[in-house]
Amino acid sequence: MRRRVLNGSLAVVTFTVLAAVSSWPARAVTTEVAVAGALVRVDFDRAAFADGGVELLAWVRRSAQIVARYYGRFPEHPLDLRVIAESGDGVQGGTTYANPAAFMRLRLGRDVTPAQLRADWVLVHEMTHLALPDTGEEHAWLSEGIATYVEGVARVQAGNRDEADVWREELRAMPRGLPQANDRGMDHTHTWGRTYWGGAMFCLLADVEIHKRSANRFGLQDALREILARSGGLAADWPIGKVLRTGDAATGTTALEDLYARMKDTPVSPDLPALWRSLGVEPAGATVRLDDAAPLASIRQAIMRPR
> What does the chain come to in residues?
307
Q: Which is nearer to Zn ion, 7 or 180 (CB)?
A: 7
Mark the segment that binds Zn ion (CB under 5 A) among 9-17, 35-43, 175-183, 288-296: 9-17
Contact between 236 and 143 under an 8 Å Cβ cutoff? The reply is no
Mark the segment that binds Zn ion (CB under 5 A) among 78-86, 136-144, 154-162, 287-295: 136-144
Q: Which is nearer to Zn ion, 11 or 123 (CB)?
A: 11
Shortest Å, Cβ 294 to Zn ion: 31
Shortest Å, Cβ 179 to Zn ion: 21
Angle among Cα 272, 223, 230 to the nearest 5 degrees reads 150
How many whole angstroms separate alpha carbon 83 and alpha carbon 109?
10
Taking each helix axis as running N to C, give the angle between helix 220-231 and helix 199-213, from 0 to 180 degrees, rounded to the nearest 10: 110
**Number of residues near Zn ion (by CB under 5 A):** 3
Q: Which is nearer to Zn ion, 83 or 147 (CB)?
A: 147
Shortest Å, Cβ 196 to Zn ion: 8
Shortest Å, Cβ 264 to Zn ion: 20
Kindly report the number of other CB atoms within 10 A of residue 225's CB atom: 18
Mark the segment that binds Zn ion (CB under 5 A) among 3-11, 25-33, 81-89, 228-236: 3-11
Contact between 299 and 305 under an 8 Å Cβ cutoff? The reply is no
Q: Does 11 bind Zn ion (CB under 5 A)?
A: yes
Rg (CA), the chain: 19
Q: Which is nearer to Zn ion, 11 or 290 (CB)?
A: 11
Instruction: Report the amino acid identity of residue 199.
Output: G
Q: Which of 85, 147, 296, 303 binds Zn ion (CB under 5 A)?
A: 147
Kindly report the number of other CB atoms within 10 A of residue 111's CB atom: 14
Mark the segment that binds Zn ion (CB under 5 A) among 24-32, 140-148, 169-177, 282-290: 140-148
Q: Which is nearer to Zn ion, 14 or 157 (CB)?
A: 14
Q: Count CA atoms within 13 Å of residue 47 on its CB side.
A: 5
Shortest Å, Cβ 2 to Zn ion: 10
Q: Which of 79, 81, 73 is nearest to 37 (CA)?
A: 73
b (16+ CB within 10 A) / e for 170-200: bbeebebbbbeeebebbbebeeebbbbbbbb
Q: Which is nearer to Zn ion, 128 or 253 (CB)?
A: 128
**In sequence order, what E strands does 52-90 have?**
79-86
How many whole angstroms separate alpha carbon 267 and alpha carbon 108?
38
Q: Which is nearer to Zn ion, 11 or 142 (CB)?
A: 11
Is the Cα torsion angle 250, 159, 9, 175 positive or negative in sign?
Answer: positive
In the complex, residue closest to Zn ion by CB: 11
Mark the segment that binds Zn ion (CB under 5 A) among 68-76, 145-153, 248-256, 287-295: 145-153
Shortest Å, Cβ 242 to Zn ion: 21
Mark the segment that binds Zn ion (CB under 5 A) among 61-69, 78-86, 147-155, 205-213: 147-155
Instruction: Provide the binding-site residues for Zn ion, judged by CB under 5 A.
Output: 11, 144, 147
